[in-house]
């Protein structure tokens, strides 16, 4: 099989779980409306989950027939025996921990993958290719020069990893060493798991004097919450991002604000995953209908627009906190 990087010229793929051509075209059009902040944006947890769901059908239960490296480092150097440890090995299942995808292998090892700031996977089968999980801050189609890793699977699928900034990560680690791995050891609880609750936030944020939004971005507390969904969750909960984190806690018991915030975090991420997941389905009409969650942003990137809550009357404001844009409604977020 030819090992030349395929690029990302997408065609409509019926009955496959890949993105349709209309969906990809719509995704590229939406890039015109992306914020123009100077700092690059990493994909957030819902986007990573969307990519995982796009890769799972072509990876799970399949063996790596061939692994090709076009360079031996991304953010960090790849293991010296990277190809040998994957060749002929079956992917048992593809999981996610925070923003890391974890391919659990038949050897007992785990292939860890992180998209970094600009990474994406291109899935090709026969003459068709698609990019699972296009998201709000993605740039244009990756060029062949930016394809660094190629997986050729037993089912005929070719999976290429493209990353212009080379800030992504791949590593192979023993399954028993996951919890102690340098990238995973200090990660907080999963925001979609049973551990996230008002009681947890009440305890974890107690005594923290930093702004509440900064605390939500602290991956040692809750894993996987990024800038976009921190803004959206705080809006849904009706809580100001400028509040000190400890101000929503109490020694007397869990506060109503902490309870509302826990619910909002779970709901906003679940809604985003559901919206992103719709981009992996087949489309009937020619243009496709994007399910991307940016269609439902209530505050993010809406500076100056009317508040989405009908009984408010305020306007969305943008401020900068720790070098990141924060969007909120000063009238109804207290």
Please answer whether residues 57 and 68 qualify as being in contact, where contact means their C-beta atoms are separated by less than 8 angstroms.
no
> Among 259, 279, 10, which Cα is nearest to 129's?
10
Active site residue 72: no
Active site residue 190: no
Cβ–Cβ contacts within 10 Å for residue 14, how many? 9
Tell me the CATH number of domain 198-328, given options 1.10.645.10, 1.10.8.50, 3.90.79.10, 3.20.20.70.
1.10.8.50
Which of 5, 44, 211, 257 is labelled catalytic? 44
Which of 5, 43, 57, 142 is labelled catalytic? 43
CA distances from residue 319 to 76, 302, 316 in whole angstroms, order as listed: 34, 12, 10
Distance CA 248, CA 239 (A): 9
Active site residue 43: yes
Domain boundaries, the chain: 21-177, 198-328
Q: What is the pTM of this model?
A: 0.79
Distance CA 286, CA 279 (A): 14
**Which CATH topology does 21-177 take?**
N-terminal domain of MutM-like DNA repair proteins (3.20.190)
From first to last of the 334 residues of the chain, give the pLDDT tens digit.
445 444 333 322 222 333 333 333 233 222 322 333 444 456 788 888 888 988 999 999 999 999 999 999 999 999 999 999 999 999 999 999 999 999 999 999 999 999 998 888 888 876 555 556 544 444 445 557 789 999 999 999 999 999 988 999 999 998 888 989 999 999 999 999 999 999 999 999 999 999 999 999 999 999 999 999 999 999 999 999 999 999 999 999 999 999 999 999 999 999 988 877 444 333 222 223 333 455 578 999 999 999 999 999 999 999 999 999 999 999 999 9
Please answer whether residues 198 and 254 qualify as being in contact, where contact means their C-beta atoms are separated by less than 8 angstroms.
yes
Which of 28, 66, 90, 324 is labelled catalytic? 324
Which of 53, 97, 99, 257 is labelled catalytic? 99
Please answer whether residues 77 and 68 qualify as being in contact, where contact means their C-beta atoms are separated by less than 8 angstroms.
no
Active site residue 209: no
List pLDDT tens digits, range 146-183. Answer: 899 999 999 999 999 999 889 999 999 988 889 899 99
């Amino acid at each position: 099989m030819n090992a030349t990087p395929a690029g990302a010229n997408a065609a409509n793929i019926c009955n496959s779980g890949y993105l349709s051509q209309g969906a990809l075209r719509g995704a590229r059009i939406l890039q015109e409306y992306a914020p123009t902040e100077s700092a690059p944006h990493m994909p957030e947890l819902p986007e990573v989950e969307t990519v995982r769901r796009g890769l799972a059908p072509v990876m799970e239960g399949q063996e790596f027939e061939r692994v090709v490296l076009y360079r031996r480092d991304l953010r960090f150097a790849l293991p010296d025996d990277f190809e040998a440890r994957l060749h002929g090995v079956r992917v048992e299942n593809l999981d996610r921990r925070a923003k890391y995808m974890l391919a659990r292998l038949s050897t007992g090892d785990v292939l860890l993958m992180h998209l970094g700031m600009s990474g994406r996977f291109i899935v090709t089968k026969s003459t068709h290719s698609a990019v699972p999980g296009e998201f709000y801050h993605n740039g244009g189609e990756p060029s062949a020069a930016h394809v660094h890793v190629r997986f050729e699977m037993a089912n005929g699928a070719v999976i290429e990893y493209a990353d212009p900034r080379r800030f992504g990560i791949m590593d192979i680690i023993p399954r028993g060493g996951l919890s102690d791995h340098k990238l995973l050891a200090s990660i907080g609880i999963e925001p979609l798991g049973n551990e996230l609750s008002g009681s947890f936030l009440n305890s974890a944020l107690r005594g923290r004097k930093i702004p509440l939004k900064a605390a939500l971005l602290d991956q040692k507390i809750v894993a996987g919450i990024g800038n976009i969904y921190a803004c959206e969750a705080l809006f849904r909960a009706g809580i100001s991002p400028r509040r000190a984190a400890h101000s929503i806690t109490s020694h007397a018991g869990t506060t109503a604000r902490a309870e509302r915030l826990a619910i909002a975090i779970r709901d906003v991420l679940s809604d985003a995953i559901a919206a992103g997941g719709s981009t992996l389905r087949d489309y009937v009409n020619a243009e496709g209908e994007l399910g991307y969650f940016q269609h439902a942003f209530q505050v993010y990137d809406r500076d100056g627009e009317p508040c989405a809550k009908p009984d408010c009357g305020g306007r969305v404001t943008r401020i900068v906190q720790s070098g990141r844009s924060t969007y909120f409604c000063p009238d109804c977020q207290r």
